[in-house]
Amino acid sequence: MGGVTVPSNGDENCVIARAVKDLPGLIEQHSEAVYELEEVLAKYLKNPDNLPAARPTCKPQKHDKSIPKGMKVDAIDYLYHRIDGLEKKIYHIRDTVDSRDAEQYGFISYPTISQAHVAAKAVGRKHIRGTTIQLAPKPQDLIWENLGRSKKHRMWNVMIGNLLFGLLSIGFVVPNAFIAVFLSDISRIAEVCHPCGPWGRIGATVLI
């Protein structure tokens, strides 16, 4: 971006992505454990003055290898320690992220949206030093797993997606045709559902 003429106050923030590998999975497991604990506590503490005699139990999460699979444990204690352990792992990875290998993508954050648009317009279709610079979508709209994959791998996924979309589009032609025929003239439904029609007694039952 230093080779592009863009009005700047030097307040943009540049970040190169790092190979965090298991960090997204740990964050997802942490979120699942938090939601599960909230659900357990909501049921257990529904009536604080009259708590159930037995504390709730659960099975270990599928990614947790520290406890034998299928074994039942105290849900509140287990989930609390599970969340605490995941948080420690997440914080450790975040503290050591600068020592990890750099990925092939990064982000430049600007103080305002207008500045980001000005920078993107100044770049245009140029590929400065072999890079592709474009406006980033919202974080929740990004498929983070795809960012670290090769262009060939992403193109293969696009081809599979387009193929499935085409097959589904062709498959929906017949039901859409039936819907168009019946909705264009409601009386045709009565003809099909008539007792003497193709559906026989089922048609009579539908009409009643």
**Enclosing H/E stretch for 177:** helix 173-184
Number of domains in the chain: 2
Judge whether 127 lies within some domain. no
Judge whether 81 lies within some domain. yes
Farthest CA pair distance, the chain: 81
Average of per-residue pLDDT across 105-125: 85
| Among 97, 116, 143, residue at a domain's last position | 97
The string of pLDDT tens digits covering residues 56-104 is 998 888 888 888 887 889 999 999 999 999 999 999 988 888 888 888 8
pTM for the whole structure: 0.57
The string of pLDDT tens digits covering residues 28-43 is 899 999 999 999 999 9
The string of pLDDT tens digits covering residues 127-185 is 877 888 888 888 788 877 777 777 788 889 889 999 999 999 888 888 887 777 766 66
Judge whether 137 lies within some domain. no
Judge whether 13 lies within some domain. no
Q: What is the percent of the chain with per-residue pLDDT over 70, rounded to a whole number?
A: 85
78 touches 58 (CB < 8 A): yes
* pLDDT confidence of residue 64: 85
Amino acid (one-letter) located at 151? K
The CA–CA distances, whole Å, from 149 to 27, 30, 48, 99 equal 20, 25, 50, 21
| Among 77, 97, 117, residue at a domain's last position | 97
Judge whether 193 lies within some domain. yes
Average of per-residue pLDDT across 115-122: 84
Q: Which of 78, 81, 95 is nearest to 23 (CA)?
A: 95
Judge whether 166 lies within some domain. no
DSSP string, 25-61: HHHHHHHHHHHHHHHHHHHHTSSTTS--SS--EEPPP
Identify the domain containing residue 71 by its residue range. 23-97
| Among 97, 128, 156, residue at a domain's last position | 97
Judge whether 200 lies within some domain. yes
Judge whether 109 lies within some domain. no
